[in-house]
Amino acid sequence: MYYIELKNTELLLKQHLAHFEYISFNCNNDNPFIVFLNTNRNNILIGSPTKHLEIINDLYQCILTETQTVPLSEYCDFNTMKIIQIMRNNETKNIIDIQFELVWPMPLKILRNKILKKLNKRTDKSDILDIFSSLASPLQELINYKNSPLDTIDDIVNYKRQTKTFWKQEFLTLHASQIDPSFHKNLVNMYLACEKEFNYSLFSSKENKRWSAYQLCKAVAPRICPYCNRNHTPVISNAERDFCRPELDHFIPKSIYPMFAVSFYNLIPSCHSCNHSKQALDVIKKDCFDKFSFKLCHPHVKKDDVTSHSIFTLENTQDVVEQLINYNSSPNITVGLEPNLETKILNSLEAFHLSFNFSNKQQGFYHHHDKEISDSLRLIYHYPKTALNKLNILLYQNSTSENIVSLQNLLIEQIMSTDCKNESLGKLKNDCLKEAVKYW
């Protein structure tokens, strides 16, 4: 949510790439996925977040090209296909299969009922019935796909038809091993190659002195966690030893996309709470332009920075300010969210458990900071109108409303944080203060 400002970016990227110089993928031209890795190696390591999305897009296209002879490509385009799970052997932890999720055509019976329901509400039905009958036959063909070379897919379909979930969901899961043995082998080998070469454990090891997770954090970690703007993210070390560093969150989860396990722009220095709140949430989605995009704000994408947006609101601001000024009592503070926030911002607030709507009540970490907000608002209490008047007379000998306003603005500038993303809760406090000063 808060953009990470980088210094000497070019040098950092060079250093990062140089460190992984040794990475090589066995140039096996028979495996299109290994060829894919080799082609994209540098962009995977130091490509921008947008580049990472392009790589995912290309990967799915590559998968579909490889499945042209099997029904997978008939049932979906690459935008409706996702890898959702890497399946492992319980004991050896070796990858045994890769699970896909496909958006499956809605069963014809359900589609027909849905259309008829809508039709019943209309008087002129003939034209729509025509469209429906022209649509029905290709759909029927698709559903009753009889010449499938793979029995296993039919088995799944039959099974799903018999179960209730199929009628409720429009998704179908499929394993690489059920599609084609050589496709399965090639895909699994690519995943194994990723895990071996893009090795995060090796990168994060303390033994690794030259360029490591520690060095990366020292170079890029902001003062405060870029996801929550709450917790500090310092690196504590001296010449001999490294003591602690922020956690590195894999923005694109490495459990599904291990090719991004050591990618420079995919390693986000963050606090423990954020790294664990997000877990292995799949942050990739298809947007309204049929392109892959991120569901959450990316700390390395400048336009995702929320610093200059208004996000938080203070409920019953007038009462809150009055209680502070007139009674010097602890006001009852309720933080709300601005209406019509971008979905990406709302998703981020929810993913990091910062603020989400639960049973019509805002919950999350940001709703447990009333003490900090009230302390910050109390600064206003120290400059009530009477004090401003006195100051004004002292400075200008006469009290005019213009002078008061300019003094107020001066004070607000002093109170407000100019660099809120480098101050714990800076954004929350700034937004609340901005509202409160309207009631001076």
Measured between alpha carbons, how far is 214 from 206 in angstroms, rounded to an integer?
Answer: 8
User: Could you identify the residue written with the tokens 């390591």?
Assistant: 45
| Residue of 225, 296, 333, 428 that binds Zn ion (CB under 5 A) | 225
- Residue 227 as a binder of Zn ion (CB under 5 A): the answer is yes
The smaller minimum CB distance to Zn ion, of residues 225 and 256, is found at 225
274 is an interface residue for Zn ion by CB under 5 A: yes
Shortest reach from residue 19's CB to Zn ion, in Å: 26
**Quick one: which of 293, 268, 272 has its CA closest to 283?**
293
Q: Name the segment binding Zn ion (CB under 5 A); options: 5-13, 178-186, 221-229, 406-414.
A: 221-229
In the complex with Zn ion, the residue whose CB is nearer, 274 or 415, is 274
Q: DSSP states of 69-115 as a string?
A: TSTHHHH--GGGEEEEEEEE-TTT--EEEEEEEEEPPPPHHHHHHHH
Euclidean distance between CA atoms 137 and 135, whole angstroms: 6
40 or 348: whose CB is closer to Zn ion? 348
Q: Cβ 369 to Zn ion, closest distance in Å?
A: 13
433 close to 416: Cβ distance less than 8 angstroms: yes
| Shortest separation between residue 231's beta carbon and Zn ion, angstroms | 5
Residue 70 contacts Zn ion per CB under 5 A: no
Residues 295-334 that bind Zn ion (CB under 5 A): none
Under rule CB under 5 A, residue 251 binds Zn ion: no
Q: C-beta of 347: minimal distance to Zn ion in Å?
A: 15
Binding of Zn ion by 271 (CB under 5 A):
yes
Residue closer to Zn ion by CB (options 209, 223) is 223
C-alpha distance from residue 8 to each of 5, 49, 211, 246, 262 (Å): 10, 18, 15, 21, 19
Name the strand (E) or helix (H) holding 13.
helix 9-19
Which token pair is 212? 């490591």
Given the complex with Zn ion, which of 179 and 311 has the nearer CB atom? Answer: 311
What residue has token string 């200008």? 396
CB of 373 to Zn ion, least distance (A): 18
Residues 93/255, Cβ–Cβ less than 8 Å: no
Q: How far is the CB of 372 from Zn ion (least distance, A)?
A: 15
C-beta closer to Zn ion: residue 256 or 268 = 268
User: Number of helices (H) and strands (E), helices first, in the chain?
Assistant: 19, 13
Minimal distance, residue 277 CB to Zn ion, in Å:
8
Q: Which stretch binds Zn ion (CB under 5 A): 139-147, 156-164, 223-231, 242-250?
A: 223-231
Distance CA 156, CA 144 (A): 13
Largest CA distance in the chain: 94
Angle, alpha carbons 61-66-71 (nearest 5°):
95
The conformational region for residue 307 under phi > 0 = left, psi -120 to 50 = alpha, else beta, is alpha
- To Zn ion, the closest distance from the beta carbon of 51 in angstroms equals 25
Shortest reach from residue 198's CB to Zn ion, in Å: 25
228 near Zn ion, judged by CB under 5 A: yes
Under the binding rule (CB under 5 A), the answer on residue 221 touching Zn ion is no
Q: C-alpha angle with apex 257: 188 to 213, nearest 5 degrees? A: 120
| Of 63 and 224, CB closest to Zn ion | 224
What letter represents residue 286's amino acid? K
**Number of residues engaging Zn ion in binding (CB under 5 A):** 5
> Would you give the DSSP letter of residue 224?
B
Q: Is 283 in the site for Zn ion (CB under 5 A)?
A: no
Q: Is 76 in the site for Zn ion (CB under 5 A)?
A: no
User: What minimum distance in Å lies between the beta carbon of 313 and Zn ion?
Assistant: 22
Instruction: Please check whether residue 420 is in contact with residue 430, taking contact to mean a CB–CB distance below 8 angstroms.
Output: yes
Stretch of 24-32, 104-112, 228-236, 312-320 contacting Zn ion, by CB under 5 A: 228-236
3-state secondary structure of 362: strand
| Region binding Zn ion by CB under 5 A among candidate stretches 11-19, 100-108, 191-199, 266-274 | 266-274
For Zn ion, which stretch binds (CB under 5 A), given 17-25, 149-157, 224-232, 234-242?
Answer: 224-232
Residues in contact with Zn ion by CB under 5 A are 225, 227-228, 271, 274
